[in-house]
Amino acid sequence: MKLAIDVHGLNKSFGDLHAVKDVSIKVIEGHITGFLGPNGSGKTTTLRMLCGLLTPDSGSGQVLGLDFPREAEAIKRQTGYMTQRFSLYEDLTIEENLSFIARVYGLDRNQQRVDETLEKLGLNHRRKQLAGQLSGGWKQRLALAASVMHEPKLLLLDEPTAGVDPQARRDFWDEIHRLADEGMTVLVSTHYMDEAERCHEIAYIFNGELIAEGTSDELIAQSRLVTFEAEGPRADRLARDLRDAPGVVMVAPFGQTLHVSGTDRAALEKAIAPYRRDPYNWTEVSPTLEDVFINLMRTAPTEREAA
């Protein structure tokens, strides 16, 4: 498959802080790739380098068929970037913000493009509303509109749905899939596991290093985790007894159920054997992405740096 991003050896330091460490990342054209990792793992720094807002200390490859980072300005013109925090003018209306963005990009048919963008993103009925009066979900929709009005080939989204309600998140992701269906490539950082599951591929970064990438099914298979789920009255309380048991890699309560995981099936089954009785019902289940990522963090180097 054709790659929209094919960059390797990406490094960035800020003084003594090595924020991004020899990262190589590939993103398939027309796909949605989830970029996951805890706070301070290097996600934002990586996104800013890819779109030309930060100059990498080292790294090479291609973005949209252009030489990276030598052709950063050309890459920037074909890329949409949505920041983690709302960065448009709150004292301007939705329409005025988009008109300003159109002028910044030097777009032709300025008003027509604004009208089309308002219509596509469902903002037409709010076009005269001040941006500062919008709820979090509508602000995110406006920010997305500003990011795609110049019809970029690549869209980089930095935790775009942080702090918005579940319905707004779902509507936002429906729009992302519509854009991808039209051929746009999307790289999106997120903390939400349900959003990660909506991506075609996932890349996981920790402490500045890319430590896993692939589809959800591939990452789950690569983890080699065996997971049992306990159900029953306050099964989550078993976590205290099982957390340090031989063969148990991790335990994760989910409401009144409990996920117990390990990589050695025999040792794991021996650990849970004393608890396989009423009132608990045990079932082997497929590990979740959350199980996989918690395990990745557990097995990765423990030193954490801010990025």
- The helix or strand, by DSSP H or E, that contains position 282, with its residue range, turns out to be strand 281-285
Average pLDDT, the chain: 92
Last residue of a domain, one of 151, 176, 208: 151
Does residue 133 lie in a domain region?
yes
Task: Collect contacts of 238-242 with beta carbons under 8 A, ≥24 apart.
Answer: 238/275, 238/280, 241/275, 242/271, 242/272, 242/275
Task: Over range 284-300, report the average pLDDT.
Answer: 87
Last residue of a domain, one of 135, 151, 167: 151
The string of pLDDT tens digits covering residues 255-288 is 889 999 999 999 999 999 999 988 999 999 999 8
Judge contact between 85 and 161, C-beta under 8 A. no
Does residue 275 lie in a domain region?
yes
Does residue 140 lie in a domain region?
yes
Last residue of a domain, one of 124, 151, 178: 151
pTM assigned to the model: 0.90
| Domain housing 262 | 226-286
User: What is the pLDDT, as a whole number, of residue 212?
Assistant: 93
Residue 109, token pair as written in the block? 């048919």
Does residue 50 lie in a domain region?
no
Q: How confident is the model at residue 307 (pLDDT cuts 50, 70, 90)?
A: very low
**Amino acid identity, position 23:** V
Q: How many domains does one find in the chain?
A: 2
Return the CATH number at 252: 3.30.70.100
